[in-house]
Amino acid sequence: MMRSLQIYFNYFLIIATISGVFGACEKKSTTPTLPPAAKSSGTPAPDVTDFRTVWPELKNKLTSANAALRDELVDPAIGLYLFDNPGVAEIVRKLKGLSEVPGGLPSFAGCELRDARKLPTFSCDTEKWSEEGCLLVEKPALRLAKTAENQIKFMEDRELTDEDKKHLGELGRIERLVTYAIFFNERSYFFGFVDGTWRLIAVDAVTPCSA
């Protein structure tokens, strides 16, 4: 009888020991705590591809007294093209920077962008622009290659060479980079989004009816 009780006692002791071991293991095995998710600021990053969004920054650069800051708007590989008519005919020439634009740049004070379907034209009869203000035009026509071609044919009075044709093809590629133009104070400014950065590609400073 005593032997049977001893066997039962040992059996319960073994069971209790095993249960205690597993219980301890279960207490030590806990689900790992994940780090808290980063809190969103709630303010989305500005869309740098949207011209209206970046216009205040571009305007600050255009009107800066710092020439180096202004010239950040000019792509070093493309340059800046100026349309002008110092004589009878309209010409286009390549500038090194904004400091070379005749008459300088306006302050753009009061330039509140207003959408327009196309760039305005000037009437020599009425001596008025078809539309005035600070106008924003999407996908404007830029006559860069055509003006350069006319310049060779009529002002230089010669036929196009293979090198000329290659250059005109490059000007055509540059034209296609232009996506927006701003008309203000009788001048047009042509912008394009080049390799992730907005650049000023051309300035139209032609004086209407000056011939």
Region 70-94: what's the mean pLDDT?
Answer: 93
**Percent of the chain scoring above 70 in pLDDT:** 78
- pLDDT score, position 210: 76
**Percent of the chain scoring above 90 in pLDDT:** 69
How many other CB atoms sit within 10 Å of the CB of residue 206?
Answer: 18
**Which of 206, 190, 92, 195 is closest to 138 using CA atoms?**
190
How many other CB atoms sit within 10 Å of the CB of residue 146?
Answer: 15
DSSP category for residue 71: G
- pLDDT score, position 89: 87
- pLDDT score, position 88: 79
Between these two residues, 70 and 26, which has the higher pLDDT value? Answer: 70
Segment holding 168, helix H or strand E: helix 162-175
Structure token digits, residue 51: 């011209």
Structure token digits, residue 173: 């590629």
Residue 51 has pLDDT above 80, yes or no: yes
Region 34-41: what's the mean pLDDT?
Answer: 47
Instruction: Name the CA radius of gyration of the chain, rounded.
Output: 36
Provide the pairing of β-strand 91-95 with 80-84: antiparallel
Unique residue bearing structure tokens 């010239």: 71
Computed over every residue of the chain, the mean pLDDT equals 83
Region 169-194: what's the mean pLDDT?
Answer: 96
Residue 32 has pLDDT above 50, yes or no: no
Q: What confidence category does residue 7 fall into, taking pLDDT thresholds of 50, 70 and 90?
A: very low
Q: Answer whether 176's CB lies under 8 Å from 190's CB.
A: no
Region 130-151: what's the mean pLDDT?
Answer: 95
- The beta-strand segments (E) located in the chain are 80-84, 91-95, 114-116, 122-123, 128-129, 135-138, 178-184, 187-194, 197-204
Length of the chain: 211
